[in-house]
Amino acid sequence: MELLTRIYHYVTSGGPLMVPIAAVSLLLWVLVIMKLQEVYELSRREVGAGEAVAMVVRGDDGSLTGTVLGHVVFHFLEQRTADRQVNLALLSSLVAREQRRLEQGLDVILVLATVAPLLGLLGTVAGMIGTFDSIAVHGTGNARAMAGGISEALITTQSGLFVSIPGLFMANFLRRRVEGFAHMLEEFRAGMMQTVGGPAAAAEGGR
């Protein structure tokens, strides 16, 4: 109970801008936890690009369920045709779509982590304005009124940084993981272009 009282006092001392900072923090960590869960599930069953290509040649997509390459292989086997060029275009489209799907949410996390300290800075400005207004009305003799404005300025700044620093760390961590998945997708695409299109198609894909 004492802890809740101290938290309440801390939040109310920070002024009205503590509400949007708290909302940004909540949304940020909901998105981070969802993305972490997705990355964890994909990392549990990693299959190499060469092994995935061999599975496609055999027409086997069941072993890739729940992996980074699972969606790409499933839809490729489902939609491929007898036309080599169509298959190559389909492959590139599926890989690009999967990369975009993996990147979903990362930009929002980064924006929220960047917005938090800006809200804290806005609270700092509001708190200092309140302090100067108090000085203009009461002079420097009213220490309590001055302390309230300074407290609001410092608490909002601290809160914004408290949200931003771990948020930026998690955004960069998740981006590195997603870039690793994207690299695996590119390796798979290169291997499939050699298998489906032969050397000429592989050279064309390299350009």
pLDDT, position 126: 81
| Residue 194 domain flag | yes
42 lies in a domain? Answer: yes
Q: How far apart are CA 68 and CA 66, in angstroms?
A: 7
Phi, psi of 153 (to 5 degrees): -65, -45
Give the range of the structural domain holding residue 191, as residue numbers without chain letter.
2-198
132-166: burial string, b at 16+ Cβ within 10 Å, e else: eebeeeeeeeeeebbebbbbbbbbbbebbeebbee
pTM for the complete prediction? 0.77
Q: What is d(CA 152, CA 158) in angstroms, rounded to the nearest whole number?
A: 10
In-domain check, residue 203: no
Quote the pLDDT of residue 33: 95
pLDDT given at position 77: 80
In a domain, 175, yes or no: yes
Q: What is the pLDDT of residue 139?
A: 65
Task: Please indicate whether residue 25 or residue 131 has the higher confidence score (pLDDT).
Answer: 25
Bigger pLDDT: 107 vs 126? 107
Kindly provide the residue ranges of all beta strands, DSSP E only, lying in the chain, ordered along the sequence: none
Q: Give a yes or no: residue 204 inside a domain.
A: no
pLDDT in tens, 61-113: 566 677 778 788 888 888 888 888 888 888 889 889 988 999 999 999 999 99
Number of domains present in the structure of the chain:
1
Looking at residues 114-127, what average pLDDT do you find?
Answer: 88
170 within some domain: yes
Q: Is residue 205 part of a domain?
A: no
Question: In this structure, is residue 207 part of a structural domain?
Answer: no
Whether residue 122 is predicted with pLDDT greater than 80 in this model: the reply is yes
Residue 202 has pLDDT above 60, yes or no: no
